[in-house]
Structure 1
Amino acid sequence: MNARNATPLPPLVEPAAELTPAEAERYSRHVIIPEIGSLGQRRLKNARVLVIGAGGLGSPVLLYLAAAGVGTIGIVDDDLVDASNLQRQIIHDVSSVGGSKLASAARALGELDPAVTVRCHELRLDSSTALALFADYDLIIDGSDNFATRYLVNDAAALLGKPYVWGSVYRFEGQVSVFWERHGPTYRDLFPEAPPAGASLSCGEGGVLGMLCGVIGSMMVAEAVKLITGVGRTLLGRVLLFDSQNATWRELTVRKDESIAPITELIDYELFCGVAAVPASTDDEIGVHELVALLLTRGEIGDANFELIDVRERGEHDLVAIPGSRLITLDRIVSGEVLSELPRDRDLVLYCKAGTRSAIALAELRSQGYTRMKHLSGGVLAWLHETESMRHQY
């Protein structure tokens, strides 16, 4: 790591006016820390922080930013609250299910500290919106769960000369770092190339220990506070890795790779990450009603007219599965270890949670010479929705 990264960076934000007596009392546990003091708290009051996502990481990040006295907090999200979110997305509650995550998060922050200005950005962050949005903030915190958004955040922040805090969680493991192209390495120095499509799963697909989000989210806010106030040594040039299953922390050094071409523009990040390459032809898809008809004419489970293959993980299959399906996970298909188990002389119908992984599996099998395949449009979610509707009709 460069020596310049071993010393504190200059404060990111100029201080606001003097704290009011009420503010001095509210943030007294910060103010009495010599390194922060009234000056540091005034910098927090004047800070504008944008948080990408009001989900697993965004929830603790938003709550601790507001509790810390960050004056302006922006939130980017266009999703709705689902009951399965509540296991880790602690900013939402039962009354929020079915509603906007933005509205739910803004309400929670308002109840925690009415003096905080909350800006809601209900949009899909992409190359057409990122630069204008980021320009209004001092610091970005990336709590997204996909590689396309992470590369977009990195490149937009680099073009604008802004720092950002990054975190990720998966099952029992979490990571956190700081990237700032002006002073050190970026996300592209850590991951020069995006992993192959389907090589990694989101929390919704692979699972995550709920409280891990709190650990990593808290670390992300600690880094944000240090950047804003200029206190301490940040994680710029380092990645902190936490294994909650074994209660261990590790640190990796990240150095700027001078051979990487400078970032000069935003690109198509779904294409860069291979997401856009997933086959989208309706010829490859089978709808729920068509699958129901096939299953009704199938006869006894195990008839050889077609095979129904679930490409999700074991835990997902055990939770809910389409009757008569066989579990063969996507990673085993991509690795090629199950090709001998999949017949080439009968039809295959692949499905996953929502259709993304099954499309990837279909593309992989096609590259191996399989031709008699379709995948379920909308996945098991569409299956559950349609079959529930059919039950209500009869």
Structure 2
Amino acid sequence: MTLAPDRLDRFARHIVLPEVGGAGQVALTQAHVVLVGCGGIGSPALQYLAGAGVGRLTLIDDDVVDASNLQRQTIFTPADIGRPKAEVAAQWVARFDPAIEARAVVERVGMDNAARVLGGGASLVLDGCDNFATRLAVSDSCVKLGVPLTSAALGRFQGQVANFAGHLPDQPCYRCWVGDAFDAEDCDTCAADGVLGAMVGMIGAYAAMSAIRVILAGHAAFGDPQWGQLQLFDGLAPSLRTIRVPRDAECRGCSAA
């Protein structure tokens, strides 16, 4: 595949990077990313994935835009209040870069539909949702589908991002990290605990960068997926540290993979 002249101009700053180059940009153009959650993490992640030229995006969210979202969910405006986030996100992509194929899925991901919703030849799933039940359903389905997962989460001033490949030998999945105790729907929320908008943006942008690492694996020097290396951010300190997540031999999400 070759890039058209206008695409070469648009992505020139990527292409001149030896760690990305033309081959890397083509890989991004051919990639299909499924984004679970178009809110706080999903908004900046989507902006940078689209900015990077990811050619196909499936945008999943069952929520509608609320006024309280505008403090951190950067693709929405007051005119969008009450509208489905996934549909607004797809329209944002269409305005930003008409060459990108963006599909909205106004649906909540769960154990009963995750395989169907996440299927369709995804290169990677980026999960930025706000509850453990969905996260674990997404993780388990990624293992079964053989699709890499970028997982990003935050609360207050703490954030975490990691790439998982539980479908590969000796690699952990997200369930290896959190276990089985969080399959319930209830969990802490931004509404109850609060969250700094700029912190959300940082985690969302880093999640996009981690996803790009996976997409470029085998195509560019930057493409080290760093499987199972959980990046922990403390926005108050500030500080960043890395934890290596081991594979759980008894994990019900990936032990049979």
| TM, length-normalised to structure 2 | 0.92
Corresponding residue for residue 201 of structure 1: 188
Q: Deviations over 1:206-255 (max 9, x none)?
A: 11111111111111111111111113433312111111111111111111
Q: Deviations over 1:126-151 (max 9, x none)?
A: 22321122221111000111010011
1:50-199 equivalence runs, <5 A: 50-136=34-120, 137-183=122-168, 184-195=171-182
Determine which of 224, 245, 250 is the counterpart of 1:254. Answer: 245
CA contact (8 A) 2:136 2:183 kept: no
User: In structure 2, do the counterparts of structure 1 residues 262 and 172 end up closer, same or farther at CA, with 3 Å as the change threshold?
Assistant: closer
Corresponding residue for residue 223 of structure 1: 210
User: In structure 2, do the counterparts of structure 1 residues 166 and 92 end up closer, same or farther at CA, with 3 Å as the change threshold?
Assistant: same
CA contact (8 A) 1:169 1:203 kept: no
| TM, length-normalised to structure 1 | 0.61
Counterpart CA distance in 2 for 1:114 and 1:144 is: 26
Corresponding residue for residue 341 of structure 1: none
Counterpart CA distance in 1 for 2:138 and 2:97 is: 28
Counterpart CA distance in 2 for 1:203 and 1:61 is: 18
Query: Alignment partner of 2:58: what SS?
Result: strand
Counterpart CA distance in 1 for 2:82 and 2:252 is: 44
Query: Alignment partner of 1:132: what SS?
Result: helix
User: In structure 2, do the counterparts of structure 1 residues 208 and 46 end up closer, same or farther at CA, with 3 Å as the change threshold?
Assistant: same
CA contact (8 A) 2:132 2:183 kept: no
Counterpart CA distance in 1 for 2:24 and 2:185 is: 44
User: In structure 2, do the counterparts of structure 1 residues 58 and 94 end up closer, same or farther at CA, with 3 Å as the change threshold?
Assistant: same
User: In structure 2, do the counterparts of structure 1 residues 196 and 262 end up closer, same or farther at CA, with 3 Å as the change threshold?
Assistant: closer
Cα-Cα RMSD: 1.8
Q: What is the identity, as a one-letter code, of the residue corresponding to 1:161?
A: G
Counterpart CA distance in 1 for 2:27 and 2:158 is: 32
User: In structure 2, do the counterparts of structure 1 residues 186 and 262 end up closer, same or farther at CA, with 3 Å as the change threshold?
Assistant: closer
CA contact (8 A) 2:54 2:100 kept: yes
Q: What is the identity, as a one-letter code, of the residue corresponding to 2:80?
A: S
Flag structure 1 segments of 5+ consecutive residues without an equivalent: 1-16, 266-394
Give the number of the structure with larger relative contact order, counting CA–CA contacts within 8 Å between residues 6 or more apart.
2
User: In structure 2, do the counterparts of structure 1 residues 112 and 166 end up closer, same or farther at CA, with 3 Å as the change threshold?
Assistant: same
Q: Deviations over 1:12-40 (max 9, x none)?
A: xxxxx100000000000000011211111
Q: CA deviation at 1:181?
A: 0.9
CA contact (8 A) 2:42 2:204 kept: yes
Counterpart CA distance in 2 for 1:55 and 1:132 is: 22
Counterpart CA distance in 1 for 2:183 and 2:6 is: 52
Counterpart CA distance in 2 for 1:80 and 1:128 is: 22
Q: CA deviation at 1:262?
A: 5.5
User: In structure 2, do the counterparts of structure 1 residues 244 and 262 end up closer, same or farther at CA, with 3 Å as the change threshold?
Assistant: closer
1:291-310 equivalence runs, <5 A: none
Counterpart CA distance in 1 for 2:133 and 2:144 is: 17
Counterpart CA distance in 1 for 2:250 and 2:184 is: 25
Determine which of 32, 35, 49 is the counterpart of 2:19. Answer: 35
Flag structure 2 segments of 5+ consecutive residues without an equivalent: none
Larger Rg: 1
User: In structure 2, do the counterparts of structure 1 residues 205 and 198 end up closer, same or farther at CA, with 3 Å as the change threshold?
Assistant: farther
- Number of positions where the alignment pairs a residue of Structure 1 with one of Structure 2: 249
Query: Alignment partner of 1:259: what SS?
Result: coil
Identity of matched residues, %: 37
Q: CA deviation at 1:196?
A: 9.0
Corresponding residue for residue 348 of structure 1: none
Counterpart CA distance in 2 for 1:71 and 1:196 is: 33
